[in-house]
Amino acid sequence: MGYVVRDIESAMRNWTTTLHIGPFYYVDRLPIINICHQGASGSPRVSLALACSGNLQIELIQQRDNTPSSYLSFLAAGHEGLHHIGFFSEHYDLDLHRAAAAGLHVEQFAAIGNPVGKSTCFASRGPGEPMLNLVALNAANRELYQMVQTEAERWDGSGPVRRIEL
């Protein structure tokens, strides 16, 4: 579940102290190669934090510039909070084709990191509804997601925010 926030540090503090979900693995600058949002292309400066509650991954996202993106559009519309529900895919291209055949419309595509990861956000079907996000699994992100989940299972409250580089 991806939450777009205006202040990621405050959001991490809230999730760890109030909800006792953590630890968060924090990336100050997500290595975005390119985002294509409604035809506009760019590389926004985005901070990301990942944690798990059981099998549910929590993703906090703060955009730190004005590059066009679904995150910025979400905030500009007066929203903050649940932005998307994500799904991991072993067969990304096939699932992308299936989503298009089902009538879902791509709002944003992102290429991230090295090796390059792919993520597609589909436009929500109505006001207040979260987007759907399809994420291509690869060896690098699978290992990261598994580590975040394993650490959450044994988390004792210490080290609530852990900085990492991607």
Q: What is the pLDDT of residue 125?
A: 83
pLDDT less than 50: residues of the chain: none
* Digit-coded pLDDT (tens) for 113-145: 877 899 999 998 887 789 999 999 998 899 999
H/E element, 59: strand 56-63
Q: What is the DSSP string of 29-52?
A: S--EEEEEETTEEE---EEEEEEE
The CATH superfamily assigned to 2-163 is: 2,3-Dihydroxybiphenyl 1,2-Dioxygenase, domain 1 (3.10.180.10)
With CA atoms as reference, report the closest residue to 36 among 107, 130, 139.
107
Domain-by-domain residue ranges, the chain? Answer: 2-163
